[in-house]
Amino acid sequence: MNKLLRLSTVLLVLSASLSGCMLQQPLPMYRLENGSATMPERIDGPAVLLGPVTLADYLQRDAMLQRLPDGSLAADAQHARWAGSLQGDIEQLLLRQLAAGLETQRVQLSPAGAGFTPDVQVEVAVTRLDSGPAHPAVLEAQWRLLDKQGKLQGSRLVRLQEEHQGTPADQVHAQSVLLQRLGEMLATAAKPLAIAKPAAPKREPARPNKAAEAKVPRIPALEPIRTDMEVFRF
């Protein structure tokens, strides 16, 4: 009898475990949206180097973060996660926006490959990217532009905001829109440097040809003629 009771208990536990597994919903996973940016066909456009792209420490995790009513952040690991690397998604999104905005396929992520000399380098630091059911999506970032010689040509701090409907899918869409807007701003800022033509080298004045000078007969300099005559006036 005891054996039957124990066997029944084991079966009930197994049945409950199996039922729980069958009822458990798959965990939603999300990726950023690239938007309507199209890859240009031009292969001889300006060379653009993107990076390094850095993210704030709190963004370097798989779970989506939620901004709570009191302003604090919580990881929503049980309901939503990023499908893959958020860092990689942001880099690819910005890379596509730069390619579309500058009409070039000559775009690379830092570090540059061998033989790739950029006309302009774009460095980006994302210091904030989050949202919540009752909080809009907010993006805070800084970018720096460097010319061919690696000299700083400009920098800017930006803060962008986008409203949403509150669901995780809407929040991801809003964050994607913010990053797309950032990419468009980067392309606009980098365009003058990307299409700038190199300054023409200064021409030095032509030096005289000594061999030619030797062949030219020299005319002796005229000297004033002196006389010993003096003129007297009365």
- In a domain, residue 110? The reply is yes
Give the Cβ contact number of residue 133 at 10 Å: 16
- In a domain, residue 75? The reply is yes
d(CA 54, CA 45): 26
| Contact residues for 192 (Cβ-Cβ < 8 A; gap 6+) | none
pLDDT at site 56: 96
Spacing of C-alpha 195 from chain mean position: 17
The CATH number covering residue 114 comes to 3.40.50.10610
**Of the candidates 153, 155, 159, the residue with the CA atom closest to the CA atom of residue 181:** 159
Full domain range(s) for residue 115: 53-194
- In a domain, residue 218? The reply is no
pLDDT at site 13: 44
d(CA 28, CA 81): 7
Question: Do you find a cis peptide bond into 40, omega within 30 degrees of 0?
Answer: no
d(CA 49, CA 31): 24
d(CA 140, CA 162): 12
- In a domain, residue 163? The reply is yes
Domain count across the chain:
1
pLDDT at site 54: 97
pLDDT at site 12: 45
- In a domain, residue 119? The reply is yes
- In a domain, residue 17? The reply is no
pLDDT at site 212: 54
d(CA 135, CA 161): 10
- In a domain, residue 83? The reply is yes
- In a domain, residue 180? The reply is yes
pLDDT at site 109: 96
Going residue by residue through the chain (234 aa), what tens digit of pLDDT does each one get? 544 444 444 444 444 444 444 445 678 899 999 888 787 877 788 999 999 999 999 999 898 999 998 989 998 767 789 998 999 999 999 999 999 999 999 999 999 888 899 999 999 999 999 999 999 999 999 999 999 999 999 999 999 999 999 999 999 999 999 999 999 999 999 999 988 765 445 566 656 665 555 555 565 555 555 555 554 444
Question: Rg of the chain's alpha carbons, rounded to an integer?
Answer: 36
